[in-house]
Amino acid sequence: MKRIGIAGATGLVGETLLRILEPGPHRIEDLRLFASAKSAGTKLKFRDREYEVQEVDPEGFKDLDVAFFCLEADLARKLVPQVAKHCPVIDKSSEFRLKPDVPLVVPEVNASSLKGHKNIVANPNCTTIPLVVAVNPLHQRFGLEKLWIASYQSVSGAGKAAVEQLSYENEFVALRRTPDSKGSPLGPQIADNVIPQIADFDAHGHNGEETKTTRESAKILGLPNLKVNSTCVRVPVSVGHSLAVTCRFSQAVKVKDALHVLKDAPGVVLRAGNDYATPIDCRGNDSVFVSRVRQGAEPEELSLWIVTDNLRKGAATNAVQIAELLKE
C-alpha cells in the first residue's frame, strides 16, 4: 500500500484515516488528498510533509494501489465506478453496501467475501460494524436467530457539521439559553436531548439507520432471514457509538460460555462482571468493547452492551484493515 488516494480527506472519516495511517507500518510514497472545490488548495499535514488538497476528479486516481472514499452516497454513486477503473476503491458511504456483487466487509467476520471483488468494496455502517464483531463469534458457537438493538449514536456519526452544531448548542445550554437549531444536520436540538431519528423514515416508520443495521448485519453474517428489531437514536455525545443488544440463539446459552467465546474473539475487548465500557473509554481505540453480558428473559437469550469509536473501528480502521487484506 504505497500509493493511496483519499476522497473526503478534510472530513471526519478522512482525517481519522490520515491519523491512523500516520504512525502505521505502510511506506506511503504517493498520497493524494481530495475534497470539494471549497477545500482545493488547503494543506494537510501527514508525517513530515504537507499535502495540498485537490478537488475530487476520477482521473486523479490513476496509478494508485487503493482509493478510500469518504464522501456522501450521492457523490459515491457518481464517482466510485469511474475511480474503480483505475484502482480498488473502499467506499464508506451506504451507496454500494447492499449490491449483490459488492462485498460488504468486516475483516474479523467475513474477510473471505473479498474473493473475486470487482474493485469496489463497501465499508459497513458505523453501528453495524461493532454489532457484527461482537455477535458473530457468539453466532458461530450458538446459532443466532434474532436480535433486538437499541443504539445510542454520537453526533460525529453525522459528520463535521454535526459536531460543530453540538458544540454551538452546548454553549447555549450551559448558559441556560435555547440554541437556534434551524437547519441543523441533526434535525431537532441535540444538546441536552435525545433524538429517535437518524436519516429519513420509510413507509413502515423505520428510520434509515434502523434499516441499514438490519440489512447490513444480515448480509455480513450470511443470515438473509435474520430477524432484527432495531431502534437507532442520536445522543449528545461527540464520539463513540453504544448499543444495547439482546441476541436470541437456537439453543440455551450460559453466560460463562458466552464470556469464554468473547474473551478470545478477534477485535473484541471484554469487560466481565459489573465492569463496563463507555464512549469515553473507547475513543481513539480500534477495538469493540463488550460488557454487561447477562442472561436474557429466556435461556436462549443474552443481553450485551457494546461500545466503539465510530470514526475508527466504525469507519476508518475497518477500511484500513480491508486495504491490508486487498494487498495480501
* Binding residues vs ligand NAP (CB under 6 A): 8-14, 35-36, 38-39, 56, 70-73, 75, 92-93, 126, 156-157, 159-161, 310-311, 314-315
Q: How far is the CB of 139 from ligand NAP (least distance, A)?
A: 23
Helix then strand count (H, E) for the chain reads 9, 13
Q: Which of 87, 139, 232, 241 is catalytic?
A: 241
**What does each C-alpha distance from 238 to 33, 168, 184, 301 come to in angstroms?**
25, 12, 15, 32
Select 54 or 136, whichever has its Cβ closest to ligand NAP: 54
b/e code 284-296 from CB counts within 10 Å (16+ = b): ebbbbbbbbbeeb
86 catalytic per annotation: no
Burial category of 69 from C-beta neighbours within 10 Å (exposed 0-12, middle 13-18, buried 19 and up) = buried
Q: Please give the helix or strand (H or E) that residue 200 lies within, else none.
A: none
Is 139 one of the annotated active-site residues of the chain? no
What cell was used for 218? 444480515
C-beta of 169: minimal distance to ligand NAP in Å?
Answer: 18
Nearest to 230 by CA among 127, 157, 94: 127
Q: Which of 126, 232, 247, 282 is catalytic?
A: 126
- Which residue's CB is nearer to ligand NAP, number 35 or number 89? 35
Q: Which is nearer to ligand NAP, 14 or 236 (CB)?
A: 14
CB of 317: closest distance to ligand NAP in angstroms? Answer: 11
- Please report, to the nearest 10 degrees, the dihedral formed by the alpha carbons of residues 181, 186, 191, 196 taken in order: 120
Rounded to a whole number, what is the distance in angstroms from the first to the last CA of the chain? 10
CB of 39 to ligand NAP, least distance (A): 3
| Between 2 and 38, CB nearer to ligand NAP | 38
Residue 76 vs 191, nearer CB to ligand NAP: 76
- Least distance to ligand NAP from the beta carbon of 200, Å? 14
Cell numbers placing 24: 502505521
Q: Could you identify the residue written with the cell 457539521?
A: 161
- The residues assigned a catalytic role are 126, 241
